[in-house]
Structure 1
Amino acid sequence: MIIFGCWKMERSESMKARSLVYWKSSSKEKKKGATRFDDQEALATFVRSISMRSGQIKQKKLAEEMLKFGNVKVAAEVFTFRQLAAVTNNFNPDLLLGEGGFGRVYKGHIMSTNQAVAVKQLDRNGVQGHREFLSEVLTLSLVNHPNLVNLIGYCADGHQRILVYEYMSMGSLENHLLDLSPDKKPLDWFTRMKIAKGVAQGLEYLHDIAEPPIIYRDFKPSNILLDEEFNPKLSDFGLAKLGPTGDKQHVSTRVMGTYGYCAPEYARTGQLTTRSDVYSFGVVFLEIISGRRVIDNSRPAGEQNLIVWAAPLFKNRKKFTLMADPKLEGKYPVKGLYQALAVAAMCIQDEASSRPLISDVVTALDYLATP
């Protein structure tokens, strides 16, 4: 707990300042889009069309839940499949950026605006893809923050489900941290702290400023995208969930996410809170510090699980340097390493109530990201 003592007093003022900045930014965006969209009618039409086409009961429930909130703006552009085929040169394999269970992501170029984009084509045969498509469009219509990826548009043409995002030129954090190719330089210490601070600010916005609060639920390095200056943005909101409101302490939901990053109480009970995201952040932060994957079966038996491997080292201050990424070659402030490990250790506490608020983490990282 000592690590947070000197930052907690600053939390209230810094939170107020950040809230004001984001509120003003959001207000400007709303004013900008107000003349172009009849928000509720556009949202209702979009939701009903997707729900009817997919025929999924859970999707309809999600749609009804989202329609309760009056500030939702589906201000993204609507593309036809033919338009996006032109944007990606007929989904040319040479433009493939990545592939996963959701489908494929291509680099594209919109001629009319001279804009590079990332085009995510969801798997047409995946039921989950339809539900995540609806969740992602609606969630990104609720938020506006520099550390959250910007949704430019979508396509719901026939059976096609396609999302169009701003293009992030440096790819994902996973590419620069865990899948580093020989021709790439490893991230230096302060770039790592800058990335951690940015994504923590994104989570802080979702938890404390977005209305209603949003639980991200899929925090991992492959979902953290980087621009040319290594500014990070959270992407892939298909698993995002509206947080508890009123007197509710948690949201009960089916356990989803990526193994190793899920909070233990969520994995056991399906009870989701914002502290579940804090746990996932702690795991990724430990990956950022150590350069190790949370699960790596190529390592010796006692080192395959990052959390299990780190547990005894956390208890001995003399062994803290063993947790620093060897690729850093000792180029980091030792005091900064100790403090970063203290933050990570608090975030991955088994008991959710023992973890810090993400706003406290942001305050700590403000300090650690400053050279």
Structure 2
Amino acid sequence: MVSHNLSSYLSLTILTHVLLALAPLVSSDMLWQDCVSDWNYTANSTYQSNLKLLSTTLPKKATTSPSQLFATDTAGAILIADPALILIVGPKPGELAQPGAHPEKIPDTIYALALCRGDTNTSACAACIANAFRDAQQVCAYVMDVTVYYDPCNLRFSNQNFLTSIDNTKQLIKGNGENVTSPAAAFDAAVGVLLSAVVDYAVLNSSVRFGTGVEDFDTNIPSIYAMAQCTPDLSPDDQLEVLWRACLDQIVKVQTKFFGGKQGGRIVGLRCNYRFELYPLFSGSPLLHLSAPAPEYLFTYLIGHSPGGSGIKSSTLLSIALGIVSSALIASLVVICVWNKRKPRVLLLPDLSNTDSMQSVNLPLLDLSTLKVATENFSERNKIGEGGFGAVYKGKLPDGEQIAVKRLSQGSRQGIGELKNELLLVAKLHHKNLVRLVGVCLEEHERLVVYEYMPNRSLDTLLFDAEKSKDLDWGTRFRIISGIARGLQYVHEDSQSKIIHRDLKASNVLLDLDLNPKISDFGLARLFEQDQTKDVTNRVVGTFGYMAPEYAMRGQYSVKSDVFSFAILIIEIITGRRNCGFYNSDQSIDLLAIIWEHWANGRILETVDPFLSSFSEDQVRTCVHIGLLCVQQNPIDRPTMSAVNVILSTDASSSLQIPSKPAFCIQDISNESETQQEVSTAMQTRSRAHIETI
């Protein structure tokens, strides 16, 4: 503690009374202040000079830094801990004090943090922070550690280094004293849904970590408005998620304690804050718009963000549910809650296709008990597939509809991300060549996605099976190729959102009762802006053998990388062989190289699946021609899916350009040392191996 003599203390006391008399000079919109009187400084001291310096630099930094509307800064000497020694870095660049200095020898260092509301412009932000410095020195005269909150901004400065902490305990909790006219339990739950969605958006979808939203409610209260914000300086992968989870837990605990049945309320902390009211409380249009959810499942919006997590604790959900059930609104719903007649429940998720005007994506919710009955409690005999995400089960709903239930493994963190991605994308896609989403279930730590059931399962289970492939005559195979092409054109060009699948392969093409193809599994898909042509990732995901070269080697993906995968599918459908089939065999020549060699020598019909008793030679040549164009080295040279569909539907192959040697041949077999006989021998060997699997 900094000590002062009696005269200094009396001077401070007199000055404080003078400042209190001048209280109107303080900004009238100050919401709260916290003056930690354990440490004080004197007039004209080094600390005051450092504070004056910060009052100039921090407002500018907050409005010009990459994370605009937020800034941290220091003034004075800074302690740096090193494994070998302790150094103190002086206030001038490059200035070092003697080794071995102690933290208490640097009492004039100041650490500061300022955060402006996400809908505040830069000039208003700078003015608010500057006023905050002025006001703080008036209401907390000569105090070293001060926190002040306003509606447009927050500020803290201190001689203690609080910048590395995610502590959010310096809080203003303020509720609107008016009670709502609607059932309080249902209103409180609706507020919880909105606040959770807004906080989710602020943390995950905004560079300034700011979110706003409006939710429809009832005739008495047409709309509920909310906003939330966190400081943007924490890593989204670790500290920020911890802080965000603490915010969400606090929403449930504090909301009912302080804001239960109230028309509005706010919690303002240094790191995280949120507010809700019955009137617009932010500038501009809301980033989220949620339709009114059915009361009995208002809190099922939250998806767990840690392995095995479930978002809100079961005890909290139970207490909320009991409160809602006790209301007359729920009582009336229970009476009509019959499977075939009840109003469909929906899960509300943010629509990522429009970041300027966020809308909710509605997903039908299914009860866990219903799905347990439908799948005979997920019995092994109903299991129809399994992958890294978990298992898939066949089932039947009470109305007789057959379904496929994807059950996410409890410990799959990667699966959670893919699940959310798939829900956001598939919910907006509706095409006869895409698998239809029936609903979702998020109960008792379960994460279940329900699709329409495809009785003939995936294309690979038929195509690469020596016995079952006989059911795929040429007409069926050509129809499958055309259907996949139409589905891809829809997601690339015709749907409201432009989507890159990134994992198109035979096992992700499902077949219905009539062997019509439907593209599935959008867990790895990515959303593009309508004018966006490509993107780059440092985490290449997908399946080797189907990956375009620019994606596999450089992480670049676009609609043309999907086109490359489509070409591999064409070749596999024609030949009945996997593109990667030679990787585990004695042959060193890949399928794409064989197709090119036969095409170049006019013997492409020799590559057709030997189990096909008859086929259209013209259609085979057209399909191979399209396939070779779709695997060109340069993505620009590959056709779009709309162009492919024109060729498939009009037989316009005569106007196609001549393809160059395809990219990604495992072995160069076009050189003189590789003879046509060796290629034919490789094909015959593969055919015999195919037959011997019967």
Aligning the two structures, in what range does the TM-score lie when normalised by the shorter sequence? 0.7 to 0.9
| Shift in Å, 1:262 | 0.9
Please say if 1:203 is aligned against 2:488. Answer: yes
Partner letter of residue 451 of structure 2?
Y
Give distance in 2, aligned partners of 1:117 and 1:366.
32
> Which residue is 1:321 aligned to?
605
Give distance in 2, aligned partners of 1:299 and 1:143.
39
Q: Secondary structure of the residue that 1:289 maps to in structure 2?
A: helix
> Which residue is 2:303 aligned to?
50
Give distance in 2, aligned partners of 1:72 and 1:88.
33
1:173-322 pair list within 5 angstroms: 173-180=459-466, 182=467, 185-246=470-531, 248-253=532-537, 254-296=539-581, 297-303=583-589, 305-317=590-602, 319-322=603-606
Q: Secondary structure of the residue that 2:546 maps to in structure 1?
A: coil
Give distance in 1, aligned partners of 2:468 and 2:499.
38
> Which residue is 1:141 aligned to?
427
Partner letter of residue 41 of structure 1?
L
Give distance in 2, aligned partners of 1:70 and 1:160.
31
> Which residue is 1:35 aligned to?
none
| Shift in Å, 1:337 | 1.6
Selected match of 2:391 from 74, 79, 104: 104
> Which residue is 1:161 aligned to?
447
Question: Compared with structure 1, are the counterparts of its residues 137 and 300 closer, same or farther at alpha carbon in structure 2 (3 Å cutoff)?
Answer: same
Give distance in 1, aligned partners of 2:561 and 2:604.
25
Question: Compared with structure 1, are the counterparts of its residues 311 and 156 closer, same or farther at alpha carbon in structure 2 (3 Å cutoff)?
Answer: same
Q: Which structure is richer in relative contact order (CA contacts within 8 A, separation 6 or more)?
A: 1
Per-residue deviation, residues 307-361 of structure 1 (Å, max 9, x unmatched): 23323223111x21122111113x1122222111101111111210110011011
Per-residue deviation, residues 26-71 of structure 1 (Å, max 9, x unmatched): xxxxxxxxxxxx9931699899612656699xxxxx9684572758
Which of the pair is proportionally richer in helix?
Answer: 1
> Which residue is 2:370 aligned to?
83
Give distance in 1, aligned partners of 2:305 and 2:483.
38
Contact 2:469 2:611 (C-alpha < 8 Å) held by counterparts:
no
Contact 1:186 1:327 (C-alpha < 8 Å) held by counterparts:
no
RMSD after superposition: 2.9
> Which residue is 1:339 aligned to?
622
| Shift in Å, 1:159 | 2.7
Per-residue deviation, residues 112-162 of structure 1 (Å, max 9, x unmatched): x21110011012211111011101111012211111111000112243211
Partner letter of residue 211 of structure 1?
Q
Q: Secondary structure of the residue that 1:280 maps to in structure 2?
A: helix
Question: Compared with structure 1, are the counterparts of its residues 183 and 207 closer, same or farther at alpha carbon in structure 2 (3 Å cutoff)?
Answer: closer
Q: Percent identity?
A: 36
Contact 1:239 1:256 (C-alpha < 8 Å) held by counterparts:
yes
Report how many aligned residue pairs link the two structures: 322
| Shift in Å, 1:249 | 2.9
Contact 2:350 2:360 (C-alpha < 8 Å) held by counterparts:
no
> Which residue is 1:59 aligned to?
none
> Which residue is 2:644 aligned to?
361
Partner letter of residue 187 of structure 1?
L
Please say if 1:95 is aligned against 2:345. Answer: no
Contact 1:79 1:154 (C-alpha < 8 Å) held by counterparts:
yes
Question: Compared with structure 1, are the counterparts of its residues 53 and 238 closer, same or farther at alpha carbon in structure 2 (3 Å cutoff)?
Answer: same
Please say if 1:41 is aligned against 2:290. Answer: yes
Greater Cα offset, 281-290 or 307-316: 307-316
Give distance in 2, aligned partners of 1:364 and 1:73.
38
Partner letter of residue 348 of structure 1?
V
Structure 2 alignment gaps of length 5 or more: 1-222, 224-287, 310-348, 652-694
Contact 2:470 2:612 (C-alpha < 8 Å) held by counterparts:
no
Q: Secondary structure of the residue that 1:89 maps to in structure 2?
A: coil
Per-residue deviation, residues 85-137 of structure 1 (Å, max 9, x unmatched): 111001011111111112111100101x2111001101221111101110111
TM-score with structure 2 setting the length: 0.44
Question: Compared with structure 1, are the counterparts of its residues 325 and 82 closer, same or farther at alpha carbon in structure 2 (3 Å cutoff)?
Answer: same
Question: Compared with structure 1, are the counterparts of its residues 341 and 183 closer, same or farther at alpha carbon in structure 2 (3 Å cutoff)?
Answer: closer
Greater Cα offset, 294-303 or 260-269: 294-303
Question: Compared with structure 1, are the counterparts of its residues 176 and 55 closer, same or farther at alpha carbon in structure 2 (3 Å cutoff)?
Answer: closer
Per-residue deviation, residues 4-33 of structure 1 (Å, max 9, x unmatched): xxxxxxxxxxxxxxxxxxxxxxxxxxxxxx
| Shift in Å, 1:269 | 1.6
Q: Secondary structure of the residue that 2:391 maps to in structure 1?
A: strand
| Shift in Å, 1:211 | 2.3
TM-score with structure 1 setting the length: 0.79
Q: Secondary structure of the residue that 1:50 maps to in structure 2?
A: coil
Q: Secondary structure of the residue that 2:384 maps to in structure 1?
A: strand
Question: Compared with structure 1, are the counterparts of its residues 183 and 357 closer, same or farther at alpha carbon in structure 2 (3 Å cutoff)?
Answer: closer
Please say if 1:151 is aligned against 2:434. Answer: no
| Shift in Å, 1:300 | 3.5
Give distance in 1, aligned partners of 2:605 and 2:499.
36
Give distance in 1, aligned partners of 2:558 and 2:577.
26
Give distance in 2, aligned partners of 1:73 and 1:316.
55
Structure 1 alignment gaps of length 5 or more: 1-37, 57-61
Q: Secondary structure of the residue that 1:282 maps to in structure 2?
A: helix
Give distance in 2, aligned partners of 1:190 and 1:75.
38
Larger gyration radius, structure 1 or structure 2: 2
| Shift in Å, 1:266 | 1.1
Q: Secondary structure of the residue that 1:105 maps to in structure 2?
A: strand
Give distance in 2, aligned partners of 1:47 and 1:86.
21
Q: Secondary structure of the residue that 1:76 maps to in structure 2?
A: strand
Question: Compared with structure 1, are the counterparts of its residues 89 and 356 closer, same or farther at alpha carbon in structure 2 (3 Å cutoff)?
Answer: same
Q: Secondary structure of the residue that 1:159 maps to in structure 2?
A: coil
